[in-house]
Amino acid sequence: KDFRNNVKPNWCPGCGDFSVQAAIQRAAANVGLTPESLAVVSGIGCSGRISGYINAYGFHGIHGRSLPIAQGLKMANRELTVIAAGGDGDGFAIGMGHTVHALRRNIDITYIVMDNQIYGLTKGQTSPRSAMGFKTKSTPGGSIESTLSPLEVALSAGATFVAQSFSSELKQLTALIEAGIRHKGFSLINVYSPCVTFNKVNTYDWFKENLVNLDQEEGYDPGNRIQAMTRLMETGGLLTGLIYQDTTKPSYEDQVTGFRQEGISKQNIQITEDEFERLVAEFK
Ligand code: SF4
């Protein structure tokens, strides 16, 4: 199935987000989805435009709120495959509360974060993922705050699928998105997606020199949460590959009781005009 549409992305040439778009399109095709069975929900930021660049249902939400929208969508129509996407400012600053609670809730969504360690759309300010000492317009003397480690937070919050990749590793990134879509529960995939315009420190070359690929690490067990946390701490989060997966924890929607299992969009809701008026009156 073709997940490409005719919309030309207006990302800067060389932006890492192009690879993420291609990886989502390839992964969706590889798992046999159709454009009608996929919804891509995004927040605000350069990366937030991605929902308009994929031939599927798209919802360009508001800043930091892709996950509440994506979760509502999944509960309303559980037959949809739902991907939420956004940047590190979107998901790990203003949206961090939603991210933590979606992680522990384990609702069946794939969340892809394009992590470029800077705010690109607003022309280059320090983000929670920027390194200490990082100089931008908002921190001209260098950032004095610690860098947030979202994957360590995810493991602490009860995540069941944690992975990381890099825009230059399209094959690995595609495979991880496929695995995330297949995972029955919440999957967090953080992608080092360089901002070539505003981040002159964390460049493609910098990542190539510094990333450690777990796919090449003998004896690494993604089922071992302690080992996952240890390797993240040892490498300062500069790992790629499947870092952690727990297939035993049921998803949120499979545990909801007192609620019909089929999505709201599939339920035959017939009410009379009087009942409708009464319901509306309750919310006045
Ligand atoms: Fe990509 Fe940075 Fe350009 Fe935004 S400003 S499109 S993140 S390269």
Residues framing ligand 1 (Cβ under 6 A): 11-12, 15, 17, 46, 116, 120-121, 195-198
What is the three-class DSSP state of 44?
A: coil
Residue 103 lies in a domain: yes
Query: Is residue 8 domain-resident?
Result: no
Q: What is the pLDDT of residue 258?
A: 66
Give the atom of ligand 1 at the shortest distance from the alpha carbon of 46.
4
Number of domains making up the chain: 1
For residues 28 and 268, the model is more confident at 28
Inside any domain, residue 239: yes
b/e burial code for range 83-106 (CB count within 10 A of at least 16 → b): bbbbbbbbbbbbbbebbbebbebb
pLDDT at residue number 271:
85
Does residue 247 lie within any of the structural domains? Answer: yes
CATH code, 199: 3.40.50.970
Rounded distance from Cα 96 to ligand 1 centre (Å)? 21
Average pLDDT over residues 214-241: 97
Domain range for 57: 17-255
In a domain, 169, yes or no: yes
The pLDDT tens digits for 71-98 are 999 998 989 999 999 999 999 999 999 9
Q: Is residue 205 part of a domain?
A: yes
Instruction: Work out the mean pLDDT of the chain and round it to a whole number.
Output: 95
Q: Is residue 282 part of a domain?
A: no
Within 10 angstroms of residue 16's Cβ, the number of other Cβ atoms is 24
Residue located via tokens 């956004």: 86
**ipTM at complex level:** 0.99
Candidate from 11, 90, 192 with most ligand 1 atoms within 8 A of CB, to mutate: 11
Give the span between the Cα atoms of 155 and 112, in whole angstroms: 16
Confidence check: pLDDT of 194 > 80: yes
Ligand 1 center–CA 196 separation, angstroms: 6
Q: Is residue 283 part of a domain?
A: no
Mutate to test the pocket of ligand 1, among 20, 53, 129, 198 (most ligand atoms within 8 A of CB): 198
What pLDDT shows up at residue 225? 97
- Using alpha carbons, list the distances in angstroms from residue 125 to 44, 82, 151: 15, 30, 22
